[in-house]
Amino acid sequence: MQLPKGFIEKYTQLLKDEAPAFFQALNEEPTRGFRVNPLKSSSQPTEHATNDPVSYCQFGYYGTVSGKTIDHQSGLIYSQEPSAMYVGEVAHPKPGDRVLDLCAAPGGKTTHLASYMNQEGLLVSNEINRKRAGILAENVERFGLQNTIMTNESPDSLEKHFPAFFDVVVVDAPCSGEGMFRKDHEAVQYWTPEYPLSCANRQKKILKSALAMLKPGGRLIYSTCTFAPEEDEQNMAWLLQEYADLQLLPIKKYPGMADGRPEWADGNSELTKALRIFPHQMRGEGHFIAQLQKQITDVKTKELKPQKSNVNKLQRQDWHKVADQLLSITIEDSRLLAFGEHLYAMPTDLPELSKLQVIRPGVNLGMFKKNRFEPALPLALAFQAKDFQEPVPITEEQWVDYVHGDTFSISDVTNGWHALTCHELTVGFGKVVNGVVKNFYPKKLRFSINK
């Protein structure tokens, strides 16, 4: 890989004796990894090795993910670059927290944050780019999140809806992507000496909005996948200068992780509490992480109106015809929200959504069709086998047929809707008719596997 001349000159000056090892690392193979989803009934992958754990991530392992596997398609594992995993570890929200992932696509941070929340509280996952928001939605649905809504808003628009609302705000900021160079060589082509400063100015606007949504006593986690001081230490120094009620909190540093570098900003020694990951010091692509806390004040925060169910009597009846047969748990009617032709289960205590650009207002339960209701794949992925009345185990061979869109035979199963399971994981729905499983795996997701 040919690094830009200006990049080499910049980091030769900044890193001094470390620079040769840094540049050499950027020309090595990228590091791959994945996290295991603790929200699934089976927590052990069967098709991916877990003998090389990431020391600083409770759910993380080094290794490459194969997408055409039960592990991946069921949401049991999520592919994520290892150094990026530490952002979620630092944020580490509690069950019941209100959490915002402000720049969320493609979903690595959102799914990691949710791993600690145990389907409780509220997680707002926002992405300003509509196309990337769609990718985010697919990843969140596969992971099986029940307490998450996905929005497609600019940060300054979102702050009008959630003033001083969140316990934890994560800003994994759009950046110059220097830590992506060896994984995505196209990122090198976008880099210019002026690019980091341009990104830093955009990040400041995002941070202003993030702080407006952070409640007193709440924590802001700021991260980038770039090495640029303009976007890292200098932005944190700016925050500390601009906001008297903010303080940097220390972050636990594992072997190979480095302190933030005050000399690359205004010399404020507090910046050593931030954290840097360099590819020549650790197995990872590189990251900057800082954790800040807003001081508690006497200012009263505004209570937001709750979102009310808008489901009519006929829609409820159609839903219950399927749900009462299919589920062994109860989803309260007060949580049901009709969203176009789809029915969703909202997170508990969700604020009113009418003026927001919402991609998904909760779990997609299914679609209303003429005189009937058809359950959706995200409903199967959001719950465990025990949450369904008569889950039907299928073999790996039948799963291959299922994801291809084929029907297959099954014995001793009553007619009607059933959750299908494989390796103890829910993988979708089928409708059994006289010993044949009719296939309802979404057409856009179907794929072939060579038998």
* Segment 49-74, tens digit of pLDDT: 999 999 999 999 999 999 999 999 99
362 among the known binding-site residues?
no
| pLDDT the model gives residue 200 | 98
Is 256 annotated in some ligand binding site? no
155: three-class secondary structure by DSSP: helix
Mean pLDDT of 145-168: 97
CB 57 within 8 A of CB 84: no
CATH of domain 82-294: 3.40.50.150
CA–CA distance, 338 with 320 (Å, rounded to integer)? 14
37 pLDDT tier (thresholds 50, 70, 90) = very high
In eight-state DSSP terms, residue 385 is G
Q: Are strands 98-101 and 166-172 parallel, antiparallel or unpaired?
A: parallel
Mean per-residue pLDDT, 93-102: 98
Q: What is the pLDDT of residue 230?
A: 98
Residues 54 and 35: their CA atoms lie apart, in Å, by: 9
Give the residue extent of every domain in the chain. 82-294
pLDDT digits (tens, 9 = 90+) for 371-380: 899 999 999 9
The predicted pLDDT at position 317 comes to 96
pLDDT at 413: 94
22, containing H or E segment:
helix 19-26
127 marked as binding residue:
yes
Mean pLDDT value across residues 412-436: 95
Q: Report d(CA 364, CA 138) in Å as an integer.
A: 11
305 is in an annotated binding site: no
pLDDT for 296 equals 86
- The whole-number average pLDDT for the span 224-239 is 98
- The share of the chain scoring above pLDDT 70, in percent, equals 100
57, 175, 199, 225: the active-site residue: 225
Confidence of residue 153 (pLDDT cuts 50, 70, 90): very high
Backbone dihedral region of 295: left (phi > 0), alpha (psi from -120 to 50 degrees) or beta? beta
105 is in an annotated binding site: yes
Q: Give whole-number Cα distances, 211 to 221, 224, 239, in Å.
A: 11, 17, 10
CA distances (Å), origin 212, targets 49, 69, 96: 43, 42, 21
pLDDT digits (tens, 9 = 90+) for 340-362: 999 999 999 899 998 899 999 99
pLDDT value of residue 185 = 81
* Residue 57 among the catalytic residues: no
Q: Is the pLDDT of residue 451 over 70?
A: no
